[in-house]
Amino acid sequence: DIVMTQSPDSLAVSLGERATINCKSSQSVLYSSNNKNYLAWYQQKPGQPPKLLIYWASTRESGVPDRFSGSGSGTDFALTITSLQAEDVAVYYCQQYYTTMWTFGQGTKVEIK
């Protein structure tokens, strides 16, 4: 299975500041035939199921605020929240869907400083 490793495990950011979460895959999730990275990001708030934020590493899901952005390619990815809002407090997960056995990162908890 592809192992997804996120860093840091948690971070505290002031309201209005930038938060960046990193995700590294144990092998490339870039499919050369279509030049797409098979990588998604999710947000999960307590007591709720996850919510899809981004797919193809950088395509924002409909309705997701544009302060959320994804970047990276191959094995190294990032989710950036510019201007953190109170409602962004959550745990964020990356997930690869490159192989038939999908895997998640361990999660990164984002809090307000």
The residue ranges that bind another protein (CB under 8 A) are 1, 38, 40, 42, 44, 49-52, 55-56, 61, 91, 93, 95, 97, 100-107
- Rounded to whole angstroms, the Cα distance separating 87 from 35 reads 33
SS3 category, 60 = strand
The nearer residue to another protein, 41 or 88, going by C-beta atoms, is 41
CB of 107 to another protein, least distance (A): 4
DSSP string, 70-112: EEEETTEEEEEESS--GGG-EEEEEEE-SSSS-EE---EEEEE
CB of 76 to another protein, least distance (A): 19
CB of 26 to another protein, least distance (A): 14
The nearer residue to another protein, 69 or 97, going by C-beta atoms, is 97
CB of 38 to another protein, least distance (A): 6
Nearest to 85 by CA among 40, 43, 39: 43
The nearer residue to another protein, 81 or 92, going by C-beta atoms, is 92
- Rounded to whole angstroms, the Cα distance separating 29 from 70 reads 15
